[in-house]
Amino acid sequence: MKTNECITTRRSIRKFKPDSIDHSLLESLISITSYSPSWKNSQITRYIAIEDSSILDKIIHDYTPEFNSNIIKQAPMLIALTFVKGRCGFERDGSFTTKKGDRWQMFDAGIACQTFCLAAHEAGLGTVIMGIWDEDGITELLNIPEDQELAALIAIGYPDIDPAAPKRKSVEELLTFIS
């Protein structure tokens, strides 16, 4: 699949087939995603693949709103995307390099998140990135180390729907030239 086709045909998938995802396929997606650019090549993004039904049930019932729970209920796997804190946007002495302070780490996590979703799409998998959940509850449930922070949850599986592309804004609305 060409890059343009991958970008223009990727959709947020909210309905999945029950088929499990082979671990070697997920490992290949993470390997590809490791090439995502990051601040000074800090490579702060980490991935937790959740297949355990008891943990998924706890996330569904205790830590996510209904609209996300309904997605997670029928996804064969949930990815918790985390990042290592305090490395991105900082100098070695701990000072911030830009006015963005420590917010740059979410930028790098976002790049990795989208790269993962595009790689999954190319491999025939569907994904949806979710950002509304109980961060403290899920962090504790998954035993996320203190030096990491939860950035996103990604439901992943084989799509059971083929949604049409939503309307896109025009280039004229999105692009400004300063000459």
Q: What percent of the chain has pLDDT over 70?
A: 100
- Positions of the chain with pLDDT under 50: none
CB atoms < 10 A from the CB of 21, how many? Answer: 20
Q: Give exposure, 157-166, as e/b (b: 16+ Cβ within 10 Å).
A: bbbeeeeeee
Identify the three-state secondary structure at position 15. Answer: coil
pLDDT tens-digit readout, 121-166: 999 999 999 999 999 999 999 999 999 999 999 999 999 999 999 9
> Which tokens go with 106?
């979410």
Helix axes 23-33, 104-122, angle to 10 degrees: 130
What pLDDT score does 118 carry? Answer: 98
What pLDDT score does 137 carry? Answer: 98
The 8 Å CB, 24+ separation contacts for 33-36 are 33/112, 33/115, 33/116, 33/119, 35/115, 36/108, 36/111, 36/112, 36/115
What pLDDT score does 87 carry? Answer: 84
Q: Which fold has domain 14-160?
A: NADH Oxidase (3.40.109)
pTM across the whole model: 0.94
